[in-house]
Structure 1
Amino acid sequence: MTIQTADMDATRAAAVHQNAALSREGLLERVFSRLFRGLVYAQIWEDPVADMAALDLTRGDDMVCIASGGCNVMSYLTAEPRSITAVDLSAAHVALLRLKLAGARHLPDFDTFYRFFGHADRAANVRTYDEELAPRLDTEARAYWEGRSLRGRNINMFANNFYAYGLLGRTLWFAHLLARLGGADLRRVLSAKTLEDQREVFEAEVAPLFEKRAVRWLGRRRASLFGLGIPPAQYDKLAADGDGNVMPVLRERVRRLMCDFPIAENYFAWAAFNRGYKREEPRSVPPYLEREAFGTVRKGAAHVQVHNRSLTDLLAEQPAESKSVYVLLDAQDWMTDAQLTALWSEITRTARPGARVIFRTGGAADILPGRVDPAVLGQWHYDAEASAAAFRADRSAIYGGVHLYRLGAKV
């Protein structure tokens, strides 16, 4: 189903705009939503391995996910769910996931697939697109990749390190520049051999940056975090964990990303500090880019549907008790109480017995109690143990909490 651009802009605005247009907060919200019209995430920043363990995915599951950069949807295919329905308000994210699905289904072998989406910086990728993928894409996705900007066709990003592009990619470039100006080299951590080495790099190179006047000044500006996909409402949740000061919160999350997981095994750290995956063996990549997963991903790609629309609207059209797993990323941090209740009403209606919902929050606390209609939320059980385990396992390290709900009363 094609959604007109004006309709999608209105839907995106409804998800983000919570204040009057001429208020300070309202102006910030409108700047943020405008930035989200294009490509934001070349790579999604929630750990699919942590998700799959918490959700205990099975072959009988029918999933509903927010697409974002698409790599988590692709990675969930390694668990062989029966179906995945992915949605996103960004036409660029929808086009990216459709490109990945076409690659999994139609590229001749794993090496070609990996060159395209793992290296993502080879001139041959553009020829592969023209010859192998373009004829197999839908009209909207093809229009996006063949659309033009100052760099030429959008597909040219895959010849020039795709993971350096998008709003997040540009923000990471600026973070590296700011670090260099402050006398730090973020790439040093990539050569660390042990967790202790990683901690030493953090203390020597990164921790002092958070004391720099320019960094502290930027941290006090909500707009400075827009490039990380953090709208004003989510900024406030981050700051709340630091008693109103976002800097200690950001410092701790960078420390966790850099220090708590072996660098060789954390592709999120490579994406942040290398702006691209670790390509030398053993590689550090999302599950869908692992060689042994390619056959399963290729087979499962036919069972994924991708829609450019809001999650609540899509669920409203689904049959009752038709879905078993819902992956909401951090989208609820943007929502009003009314929007949350509308979403969870549709989740509850479409959920079948045993259904699970997983989501992230910018702050540590679960945001649903007291905001979602108790008659709706009361039908779900918050799994505190699984939530805490998923948070500890999440290598992306940028969120304050991971939360898992199960349909039905606690047993």
Structure 2
Amino acid sequence: MCERNVNRSARIKGKNVSMKQKFNRLDCTNRFEDALGWCMSPVMWFFLSIISPFLFVMKQVTDKLLFFMVGRNVIYNVNWEDPRVERAVLKLNEDDNVITIASAGCNSLDYIIDGARVTACDLNDCQIALCEIKVACAKILTYDEFFSIFASNDCDFLREIYPKRLRPMLTAPSASFWDEKIDTIDSFMYFGASGGLAYVAFRIFFPMIGLGWIRNACAERMPPNEFQGIIDVNKVYIKTAAWLIKKVLEPFAIAFAGVPLRQIQLGNKRHNTWLTVFENIIYRTDFCGDNYFYNGYILGYFDKHCCPNYLKEENFARMQANLKKGNLTLYTGTIEGFLKENMALKAAKKPYDTFTVASLLDHMDWMPHEWINSEISILMKNMDPATGRVFWRSFANDVHSPILQHLNPVEIDQYPEVEGAHAGQYAYHSCDRVGMYFSSWIANISECGNTIEPRSISWSDDSTTFDTSFLTTLKTGFKIVSFPIKQAIGLVETQKETANGHGKNIEAFYQDQASVYDSFRENFLHARCPMLTCLPTKTSGDMVWIDVGGGTARNLEFIPVDVLKARFKKIIVVDISPSLLDVAKARVAKHGLSDIVECVCCDFTDERSVKKHLPAAGSVDIVTFSYSLSMIPNKKCALENAERLLKSNGEGCLGVADFFERSGREHLLQYPIQLLRFIESKAHKYYFRCDGVHLLTDEVFENGLTSTMSKQFEEKFRGSVPLLPILRPYQGFAFFAKE
């Protein structure tokens, strides 16, 4: 059957079928049945059940293993970001100054070909050592010599020229690295952690599951339609590979691929992520003729027809000339570290860099929001305000952080259709060949409209401002846990749950713990910091912010005092507890913010109080609920008042950080796990209700907000509770914009 299909395809195209017979000697029906039987075999399921504990442990330590390798070995032997995507958008030239991640140096050298000046940073000095030896070779060797080393793996020639010609050109750390590695390296294609993983995946794993024929297809440069035809007939093998990657290789091998767990988790909402990746690679690229990323790993070498730009003969002279001009700067450290040094040069009135392009590859995928804000806030100060562009790609389908949303980025079409092409045909020359990135973005600094400002942890320089000692935590925890008991036995008078009664109950709850309120909650309210880190700030400098349930004004401390003064004309801390607001007033006065910060004691669900004490409807830029909405009985009214106060036309922002009843992804879990999560959520709901906290659900926002409020971002995660490590309720934060 399969052979007849191949013959028919060959007759149509006038091709000789003998080459295809090498790749498909087995009967397709038998191969299908064999693969299907293997996949469903009890032996395989038994094997997976045996190794499951090991895979679980590996998943817990994968990030620790990855960062353990930093500084000890090369992780990326090839850049796994296709430079063709950003080059088509950025259109680099001699006027551009680029800051980027060094990785294996492939993309940096690609930018150099276009004449741009490039600063490439990498925290792993082993990656810098790899880049340095490429640069040294490019400066002094002929094209054929350069190609023989980095494409054909002629490591004997590298060893021959290293001591006298290359080593003197390296920095001391890089020379030390190569002194150790030069005698053992035998292939740049399988060098480092990702190179070793690639060897196992493509040279051992693929043949084991019936995909070994792909190596011959790549060697013979099989045309795309013929390659895809064979894949269509044998698609069970691709599905098998995708399934095994998800179940086995993902928890075990992502550290060796240099992929942090947080980045993989960006794809949790997708179904069959790895099958989609395979389909992107097979059907949207010329896999055998142009996709050097996979060709190199499958074959073990690059050839002159299928290789990165910096290895192509027509580009070598330009690259060599621009490197000799000094167009490439390599920096061991983070992008943020380099930019801080650059700003110090500017402050000292010494020569410094202003960048037109920041090509950030995919490294922000694994960074927490606080790190993204820290990097982007200083990057903005180093970018050319007129021509600056920021480019990044992501494993997520959308912009994965509100901070990046504030840049107003535009998504790049990685798979543009060809004009006049029929359905199913693609432009092999115009798409991302890696296939693992589900979105790419570019933001123009001049069109941003927002500022990305630094954030802080505390206004005080004293890191011991909040006493989080075990004794203090124990005492405060006891007060919280014992409060419902005191109510039950009559030691604390309980008011009816009216608006006024709720206020008295809240005051009774907080009045004897107000002084240590912040200390206890520092290690408890895990979504507060990212929510406040991601608050938008506008360039106008006249913003109005209402913090509902702001209590002690601790929330304000996550934004530096000078930023608050520069960006806000009015901040109102609203709370129903006078004791907490007394702490807030003292804190605000101590740091000189009394002129812009007002503390208001009122019930946010009381319409008369809202109208009396708060600004006019439609005049507020930001309203936040930081772990307060779950304690407000009338949540619908609170959300309605917040919506009414906010500006429209996308200018008003509602931010909520709180405890949630569910994650929203339970339907993706297996049934036994779903049942356990259901029971757990009921237990959490009961436990928190004892302290007057009612866990939020999505229905709260659906019922309390109108269609004019659109959700811009949401993130949920599990967070620990002091003194009760077994209790890990869902927490999270969300932003809504008023259209």
Q: Shorter-chain-normalised TM-score: which range?
A: 0.7 to 0.9
User: Does 1:120 find its partner at 2:165?
Assistant: no
2:58–2:252 contact (8 Å) kept in structure 1: no
Unaligned 5+ segments in structure 1 are 1-22, 148-152, 243-247
CA change 1:276–1:24 in 2 (3 A) is closer
**Counterpart among 192, 205, 208 of residue 181 in structure 1:** 208
1:189–1:201 contact (8 Å) kept in structure 2: no
Deviation at 1:127, TM superposition (A): 0.5
1:225 maps to a residue whose letter is: I
1:88–1:311 contact (8 Å) kept in structure 2: yes
For residues 142-291 of structure 1, the aligned pairs below 5 Å read 142-147=175-180, 153-154=181-182, 156-157=184-185, 160-176=186-202, 177-185=204-212, 186-190=214-218, 191-204=220-233, 207-211=236-240, 215=244, 218-219=247-248, 221-242=250-271, 248-262=272-286, 263-279=288-304, 283-291=305-313
1:58 maps to a residue whose letter is: N
User: Which stretch shifts more, 213-222 or 310-319?
Assistant: 213-222
- Give the whole-Å Cα distance in 1 for the aligned partners of 2:111 and 2:265: 31
Deviation at 1:184, TM superposition (A): 2.3
CA change 1:167–1:409 in 2 (3 A) is same
- Matched residue of 2:447: which SS? coil
The alignment's C-alpha RMSD in Å is 2.7
Deviation at 1:214, TM superposition (A): 7.8
CA change 1:26–1:388 in 2 (3 A) is same
2:99–2:355 contact (8 Å) kept in structure 1: yes
For residues 303-382 of structure 1, the aligned pairs below 5 Å read 303-319=327-343, 322-352=354-384, 353-368=386-401, 370-371=402-403, 378=406, 380-382=407-409
2:381 maps to a residue whose letter is: R
Residue in 1 aligned with 2:736? Answer: none
- Matched residue of 1:197: which SS? helix
- Matched residue of 1:402: which SS? strand
- Give the whole-Å Cα distance in 1 for the aligned partners of 2:280 and 2:413: 20
Deviation at 1:72, TM superposition (A): 0.9
2:319 maps to a residue whose letter is: V
CA change 1:156–1:298 in 2 (3 A) is farther
2:199 maps to a residue whose letter is: W
**Counterpart among 5, 23, 32 of residue 66 in structure 2:** 32
1:207–1:251 contact (8 Å) kept in structure 2: no
- Matched residue of 2:443: which SS? strand
- Matched residue of 1:367: which SS? coil
1:42–1:163 contact (8 Å) kept in structure 2: yes
- Give the whole-Å Cα distance in 2 for the aligned partners of 1:179 and 1:73: 31
Deviation at 1:26, TM superposition (A): 6.0
CA change 1:93–1:155 in 2 (3 A) is farther
2:58–2:251 contact (8 Å) kept in structure 1: no
1:324–1:355 contact (8 Å) kept in structure 2: yes
- Matched residue of 2:215: which SS? helix
Unaligned 5+ segments in structure 2 are 1-56, 347-352, 418-428, 450-739
Residue in 1 aligned with 2:107? Answer: 72
2:63 maps to a residue whose letter is: E
User: Which stretch shifts more, 207-216 or 132-141?
Assistant: 207-216
1:271–1:277 contact (8 Å) kept in structure 2: yes
Residue in 2 aligned with 1:51? Answer: 86
Render the CA deviation track for 1:368-387: whole Å, top value 9, x for unaligned. Answer: 3x245xxxx64x34123567
User: Which stretch shifts more, 177-186 or 161-170?
Assistant: 177-186
Size of the aligned set, in residue pairs, is 366
User: Which stretch shifts more, 117-126 or 346-355?
Assistant: 117-126
Render the CA deviation track for 1:244-287: whole Å, top value 9, x for unaligned. Answer: xxxx21122123223322221221121232232134xxx21111
CA change 1:165–1:205 in 2 (3 A) is farther
Residue in 2 aligned with 1:13? Answer: none
- Runs (4+) off by over 4 Å: 23-26, 204-207, 385-392
User: Which stretch shifts more, 349-358 or 191-200?
Assistant: 191-200
CA change 1:227–1:207 in 2 (3 A) is farther
- Matched residue of 1:193: which SS? coil
Residue in 1 aligned with 2:129? Answer: 95
1:266 maps to a residue whose letter is: N
1:85–1:305 contact (8 Å) kept in structure 2: yes
Residue in 2 aligned with 1:398? Answer: 436
CA change 1:325–1:387 in 2 (3 A) is farther
- Give the whole-Å Cα distance in 2 for the aligned partners of 1:223 and 1:189: 29
Tell which structure's C-alpha radius of gyration is larger.
Answer: 2
Render the CA deviation track for 1:79-126: whole Å, top value 9, x for unaligned. Answer: 101x2111001111100111111111122x211111122212342221
1:44–1:72 contact (8 Å) kept in structure 2: yes
- Give the whole-Å Cα distance in 1 for the aligned partners of 2:182 and 2:195: 15
- Matched residue of 1:384: which SS? strand
1:260 maps to a residue whose letter is: R
CA change 1:259–1:25 in 2 (3 A) is closer
CA change 1:216–1:323 in 2 (3 A) is closer
1:386–1:404 contact (8 Å) kept in structure 2: no
- Matched residue of 2:435: which SS? coil
Deviation at 1:305, TM superposition (A): 0.9
For residues 122-137 of structure 1, the aligned pairs below 5 Å read 122-137=155-170
User: Which stretch shifts more, 335-344 or 213-222?
Assistant: 213-222
Residue in 2 aligned with 1:18? Answer: none
2:193–2:256 contact (8 Å) kept in structure 1: yes
Q: What TM-score does the superposition give when structure 1 sets the normalisation length?
A: 0.81
2:210–2:237 contact (8 Å) kept in structure 1: no
* Structure 1 or 2: more helix by fraction: 1
1:330–1:359 contact (8 Å) kept in structure 2: yes
1:169–1:275 contact (8 Å) kept in structure 2: no
1:192–1:198 contact (8 Å) kept in structure 2: no
- Matched residue of 2:189: which SS? helix
Render the CA deviation track for 1:207-247: whole Å, top value 9, x for unaligned. Answer: 425337981673485333223222111111123222xxxxx
- Give the whole-Å Cα distance in 2 for the aligned partners of 1:274 and 1:206: 22
Residue in 2 aligned with 1:7? Answer: none
